[in-house]
């Protein structure tokens, strides 16, 4: 079956969702999340796109972005997924596909402010909807930049957010109230094919996985060691968006 073509047009924003292969929880390590933020920093510098929304969950990632040119979208996602897959496979001592099949994308006009705000709220509400926390502040989403008007070094405010009020403080207050009204819809139960019942019985082979010889050289040798520049990018993002800076800072002080 042929793939459905993506809706790529000039003047569009895109809600992107990327999942770990087999929906595995590969993004739980704090070090992996730091590296991912660093990769986004490099991608923004390389492709000059605008990143409006971001949320890194345990097994998937949400973005709201606007490419400089419509055709850049595939280049951006290919580069980010390639770079992070190489890093994560090296850090986690694994091989094979890290990301699951195609990324999901939903495009809409960047001037559709209602759609933009609903998408931003959906992205920022992911940790709350997953019962990970009570509120919206989350170390690895950019909700904090909208609520506290901080600069995380990666994302920027969409004109839809800036149009909520006459001052930035008014925009923040209205977006905060807008988010409080959100009620997540219950997700449908996953359906399984007949053969999936046999899968848990499959015994995985023992032994340490080898690192593919084709993987790129990284600025660190093992996942425990994080480069200074990586840590600086991540620290700025987390401090701008976290609920409690004192608690969040412990991750970087212990590094």
Terminus-to-terminus CA distance in the chain, angstroms?
Answer: 48
List residues bridging with 210 in a β-sheet: none
Cα–Cα distance for residue pair 9/92, rounded to 1 Å:
37
Any idea what DSSP says for residue 201?
G
Q: Average of pLDDT values for 87-112? A: 91
Closest by CA position to 139, among listed 224, 51, 58: 58
Q: 197-227: b or e for each residue (b if 16 or more CB lie within 10 Å)?
A: eeeeeeeeeeeeeeeeeeeeeeeeeebeebe
Q: Is residue 148 part of a domain?
A: yes
Rounded-to-integer distance, Cα 79 and Cα 12, Å: 20
Query: To the nearest whole percent, how much of the chain has pLDDT over 70?
Result: 81
pLDDT band per the 50, 70, 90 thresholds, residue 226: low
Query: How many whole angstroms separate alpha carbon 205 and alpha carbon 6?
Result: 38
Helix (H) or strand (E) holding 63: strand 60-66
Residue 212 confidence (pLDDT): 38
- Residue 107 in any domain: the answer is yes
CA distance linking residue 87 with residue 255, whole number of Å: 18
Residues 47-78 have pLDDT tens digits of: 999 999 999 999 999 999 999 999 999 999 99
User: Do residues 127 and 57 make contact, with C-beta atoms less than 8 angstroms apart?
Assistant: yes
201-213 pLDDT tens trace: 444 444 444 443 3
**Full-model pTM:** 0.83
What confidence tens digit (pLDDT) does each residue in 236-254 have? 999 999 999 888 888 887 6
Q: Which segment of 107-116, 140-149, 160-169, 196-205 scores lowest on mean pLDDT? A: 196-205
pLDDT score recorded for residue 248: 87
What pLDDT is recorded for position 24? Answer: 85
Mean pLDDT across the chain: 85
- What is the token pair recorded at 87? 């890093």
Domain assignment present for residue 88? The answer is yes
> Could you tell me if residue 209 is inside a domain?
no
Cβ within 8 Å of residue 135, ≥6 positions away: 128, 243
Distance CA 226, CA 75 (A): 27
Residue 199 falls within a domain, yes or no? Answer: no
Is 197 domain-assigned? no
Phi, psi of 195 (to 5 degrees): -80, -10
Within-domain flag for 212: no
User: Minimal CA–CA distance to 138: which of 53, 243, 248, 245?
Assistant: 243
Segments forming the whole domain that contains residue 24? 12-186+227-253
**Per-residue pLDDT reduced to its tens digit, 177-193:** 999 999 877 665 555 45
194 occurs within a structural domain: no
In the chain, how many domains are there? 1
Return the CATH number at 150: 3.30.70.1290
């Amino acid at each position: 079956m042929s793939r459905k073509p993506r809706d790529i047009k000039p003047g569009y924003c895109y809600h992107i969702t990327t999942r770990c292969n087999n929906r595995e929880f590969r993004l739980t390590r704090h070090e992996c999340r730091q590296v991912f933020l660093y990769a986004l920093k490099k991608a923004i510098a390389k492709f000059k796109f605008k990143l409006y929304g971001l949320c890194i969950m345990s097994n998937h990632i949400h973005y709201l972005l606007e490419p400089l040119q419509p055709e850049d979208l595939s280049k951006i996602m290919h580069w980010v997924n390639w770079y992070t897959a190489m890093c994560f496979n090296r850090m986690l001592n694994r091989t094979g596909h890290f990301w699951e099949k195609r990324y999901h994308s939903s495009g809409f006009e960047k001037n559709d402010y209602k759609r933009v705000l609903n998408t931003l709220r959906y992205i920022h509400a992911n940790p709350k909807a997953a019962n990970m926390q009570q509120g919206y502040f989350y170390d690895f989403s950019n909700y904090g930049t909208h609520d506290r008007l901080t600069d995380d070094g990666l994302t920027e405010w969409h004109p839809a957010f800036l149009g909520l009020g006459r001052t930035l403080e008014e925009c923040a207050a209205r977006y905060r109230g807008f988010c409080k009204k959100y009620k997540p819809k219950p997700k449908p139960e996953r359906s399984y094919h007949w053969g999936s019942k046999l899968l848990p019985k499959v015994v995985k082979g023992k032994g340490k996985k080898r690192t593919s010889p084709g993987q790129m050289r990284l600025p660190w040798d093992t996942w425990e060691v994080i480069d200074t520049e990586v840590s600086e990018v991540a620290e700025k993002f987390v401090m701008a968006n976290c609920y409690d800076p004192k608690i969040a800072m412990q991750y970087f002080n212990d590094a």
